[in-house]
Amino acid sequence: MNRPWMWMLALLLWGSVSVAEKNPNILFISIDDLRPELGCYGNQKIQSPHIDALASEGTVFEEAYCQVPVCGASRASLMTGLYPTENRFVTYYSKAETDAKGIPDIPTWFKQQGYITISNGKIYHDRNDSADSWDKIFRSKDYKIYHLPENLALPEKRQPAFEGADVDDMAYAGGPVLQETIADLRAAKETDKPFFLAVGFTKPHLPFNAPKKYWDLYDRAAIQLAENPFVPEGAPLEAMHEWNELRNMYGGIPTQGPLSDELARTLIHGYYACVSYSDAMVGRILDELDLLGLRENTIVVLWGDHGWQLGEHTLWCKHALFRTSLRSPLIISAPGFQKKQHSQSLVEFVDIYPTLCELAGVDMPGHLDGVSLVPVLEQSDASLKEAIYGRYHSGDSIKMGSYQYTEWSSGARMLYDHTQDEDENINVVDDPAYANVVEKITKWLADFRLQREEKEPLILAAAGIKIGDNRPPVWQKRTAKLEQTGVGIPFSNYVNWLASDKDGDALVYSLDSGPEWITLANATNGLLEGTPTSEHMGENVCIISVSDGVNPPVSIRIEIDVVKQP
């Protein structure tokens, strides 16, 4: 583990990059699974005074949306500034260094501009993803930390989805990240290099474990359950899921059907407590920034990687293309810009990378898909985009004005009018009154897909991948569903029958990403093998690439349904 004094010494010895005038520092705060459940977003039930104070120093983006409503993919997309595709940034275990090989992520780009880059806590889902981007990485245990003896005595998957032990802030996941960050700020104060300091707090990610004092901030009896705990009228099956992250990983959760009101209220209580816990950690970091006199030259960005359902539409967790999963907090406070602003402009997380570049006064890399949000920081009612884009598994989702439209590869569709139905309770996609809206959005989506196909060679070129006269391998389809398997049943299937090469080149297959139970047993024949467990019930997604040794690898999305044994 690198300590602050070690990288400070390295900076004193490092003279390969000259910065004539110190660029602004960047404090980049990520909070896992944080929906806009904050005072500054109008929810006065939540105790979030420190994030609310940060909001008063900058701009709150009321209509900010993530690209993918799952952790690994959302973060990889944000950090590279690239939209997701059918084969890029798909799952919670997606990696930027795999899905966007050769593309400079935010820390790599700023490192090249003379910044010291530090990652504390959870920034990428995988600790080792794009590790070379950072001068220093710190990540202590941040998942399933329990302190109550009765919980410690239980097997892992029987431990509860919440805990409120009477311990201090350092005992749960946020404490070590806070301590490391304060030490890094103090070390940075003594250097003449600007810093890009990324700080990731995991709460309110499951389990909802936080010190008791944060639970005590809330009157349990006053906590309200979701107002729409039902499937939206006309919503397709593709829109729904079984919230297996909660069902399969924790004790006391029913394997099917809804939660009891009592359990639902406890989980919401725990979610709120975790928000307040992370809020307190943010407050202490901002206090230290002020104490050190660094705030006046520091850009502060706070974001949640995606939304979260708390019982809405019968759902818990994320993993959906409803507004509750896609809409996420984004707050930017930058020296010299307006304060106490709230903007309704449509923005998306691929816009964060170019925004940081413009605010810091550095050039932008050529691969970026987003646009700078600086015009909105200058004038909150500035409009930058007609529509924004999100994706999850086989669904594409478009937010255009007050409408949210989603379509799946199966042909299923849904449309919600947020001026009439902000909670998305009635799917109006087949209502004749909205025919013109559907026509306009579907045309935009078709144009967007075409633009993505045209830009892909440019992305490869930006990554230094050259395409020659030899033709790359071809998959029969972009997405293939293999035969389903059952929990505890050994699975074995080949994918080589799906690929061909017109030049007759020998093909080699690789497993780019997939659940841990799947392995590539034979790279020549593309043999997939493994035995799923109960936690893998539902749709499992693998990204398989095939290479001819000449051209860049070509990927396919493989879907495998895991069901209960009869």
Token pair 């924790």 in the structure block, residue: 250
**Phi, psi (rounded to 5 degrees) for 104:** -70, 125
Per-residue pLDDT, 466: 66
Nearest to 336 by CA among 354, 356, 359, 358: 359
**pLDDT band at residue 460, thresholds of 50, 70 and 90?**
confident
Per-residue pLDDT, 20: 38
Residue 298, token pair as written in the block? 């520091």
First to last CA, the chain: 48
- CB of 537 closer than 8 Å to CB of 564: yes
Q: Taking 70 as the threshold, does the pLDDT of residue 467 lie above it?
A: no
Taking residues 502-517, what's their average pLDDT? 89
Separation CA 438–CA 431 (nearest Å): 10
Per-residue pLDDT, 555: 84
Q: Which residues are catalytic?
A: 71, 125
**260 burial type by CB count under 10 A (0-12 exposed, 13-18 middle, 19+ buried):** exposed
pTM of the predicted protein model? 0.86
Per-residue pLDDT, 445: 96
Report the amino acid identity of residue 486. G
Taking residues 317-342, what's their average pLDDT? 97
pLDDT in tens, 277-315: 999 999 999 999 999 999 999 999 999 999 999 999 999
**pLDDT band at residue 447, thresholds of 50, 70 and 90?**
very high
Q: Taking 70 as the threshold, does the pLDDT of residue 198 lie above it?
A: yes
Per-residue pLDDT, 284: 98
Q: Taking 60 as the threshold, does the pLDDT of residue 6 lie above it?
A: no
